[in-house]
Amino acid sequence: MDQVNVLIIGGGVVGCAVAREFAAQCADVFLVESAPHLGAGASTRNSGVNHSGIYYPPGSLKATLCVRGNRLTQEFCAAHAVPYRACGKLVVASSEAEMPALESLCATGQTNGVPGLRLVDRARIRALEPNIEAVAALEVPSTGILNAEELLKAYARHATDRGASLLTRARVTAEEETIEARCVINCAGLFADEVAALAGNRRYRIYPVRGEYCEVVREKADLVRGLVYPVPHQAGVTLGVHLTKTTWGQLWVGPTADYIDDKNDYERNRRPVEEFARSARTMLPEITAADLRLGHTGIRAKLLPPGEHGTADFVITRDPDVPRMIQLVGIESPGLTAALAIAEYVASLAAGIL
Ligand SMILES: Cc1cc2nc3c(=O)[nH]c(=O)nc-3n(C[C@H](O)[C@H](O)[C@H](O)COP(=O)(O)OP(=O)(O)OC[C@H]3O[C@@H](n4cnc5c(N)ncnc54)[C@H](O)[C@@H]3O)c2cc1C
């Protein structure tokens, strides 16, 4: 039987950031990933946005870890040449009726400590994004866009440089080989509820929610310079179908949000491009369905059941019944942004175990 100090289950951006953090502190850090390569789950199937922290209830883990993670991620990308665009973002109101929601978003962001927020008029919107139609917007300077795949690779590289072992094609199951660990950290994303159940904890249930994207054809990709979001209408489920200019110059429309039954179902019953065109046109009138091609999809690990309103916070906790295990469940957005801050937080929880 192998014996290690720390066993991390799941090689997404969170698992790799956690491995990097622990490898700086102790020897014998192992990460196991079931897929043939790291980052096959949500970590490379997202919008690649370094979120600011405006959306989450003050005092929640999502708010505190997002605001700290935003700064840490920006610094990390600058220090390690991960492609990053500090473009800021606009959350746009398409009518006067959306102004109270925009103001409330601004107030929440300020309470959460998001720097530089301001409500701006049509003239400022036009100066930043000449093709966007809106009556007003919330300007969020600390939001940025990064290359999620490169970020994950950099976390993994740091972890191995510091001595951690990252194994792929290694699924944790109830039987087969045994590894004894002083501390086990569940970073299994969509499958974190099933991994927790393997250890006897059946409290959690993850509901998969698919997000689909369209890509805008090359000739129209420069209609947007950075990030443009609508005012969110399905609080807790999605931030709304938005426009994202990637670090490599593509323009994405998405993601949608649909509860699905199968955690592995990335492609069945894709939404038609016309729907994306309708959503995009409320902000960018020049877009038509002919300008869009179906793009990638990702699946969110939601704790909020279908039909329920509100937000579910990240669950990051020592397991009440298995004290040497730390559970990370419901790490949906802003998990990419928060990964470095999550890693610090997990290390603080593990201090009493190691
Ligand atoms: C459509 C979409 C858009 C998003 N946009 C953003 C955004 O713009 N900004 C942002 O901050 N966040 C965003 N997110 C959220 C972000 O992508 C996630 O929070 C983050 O990637 C979660 O990382 P993770 O490592 O927890 O999970 P994953 O990346 O899902 O990694 C979990 C890993 O565990 C492995 N695993 C599962 N079971 C086992 C097992 N039994 N044994 C071994 N390995 C196992 C899986 O194969 C997987 O690789 C978005 C998410 C989605 C779906």
Is residue 300 scored above 70 in pLDDT?
yes
Q: What is the mean pLDDT of the chain?
A: 96
Atom of ligand 1 minimally distant from the CA of 300: 53
Long-range contacts of the stretch 169-172 (C-beta < 8 A, 24+): 169/33, 169/34, 169/35, 169/36, 170/32, 170/33, 170/34, 171/32, 171/34, 172/9, 172/32, 172/34, 172/198
Select from 16, 18, 43 the residue to mutate for testing ligand 1; criterion: most ligand atoms less than 8 Å from CB. Answer: 43
pLDDT digits (tens, 9 = 90+) for 48-104: 999 999 999 999 999 999 999 999 999 999 999 999 999 999 999 999 999 999 999
Distant-in-sequence, close-in-space partners of 197: CB < 8 Å, separation ≥ 6: 204
Residue 1: pLDDT band by 50, 70, 90 thresholds?
low
Q: Which of 352 and 196 is assigned the larger pLDDT? A: 196
- The angle subtended at Cα 247 by Cα 241 and Cα 248, nearest 5°, is 105
pLDDT digits (tens, 9 = 90+) for 176-203: 778 889 999 999 999 999 999 999 999 9
Residue 286: pLDDT band by 50, 70, 90 thresholds?
very high
> What residues flank ligand 1, with Cβ below 6 Å?
9-15, 32-35, 40-43, 45-49, 51, 171-172, 187-191, 195, 211, 255, 298-300, 331-337
| Residue labelled with tokens 């019944």 | 321
- Please name the amino acid found at residue 254: G
pLDDT digits (tens, 9 = 90+) for 309-336: 888 999 999 999 999 999 999 999 999 9
18 within 8 A of 152, measured Cβ to Cβ: no
pTM over 0.85: yes
Atom of ligand 1 minimally distant from the CA of 187: 26
pLDDT digits (tens, 9 = 90+) for 127-159: 999 999 999 999 999 999 999 999 999 999 999
Which pLDDT belongs to residue 8? 98
Which pLDDT belongs to residue 3? 85
Which pLDDT belongs to residue 2? 75
Which pLDDT belongs to residue 132? 98
Which pLDDT belongs to residue 253? 98
283 phi and psi angles, rounded to 5 deg: -110, -35
Residue 238: pLDDT band by 50, 70, 90 thresholds?
confident
Is residue 234 scored above 70 in pLDDT?
no
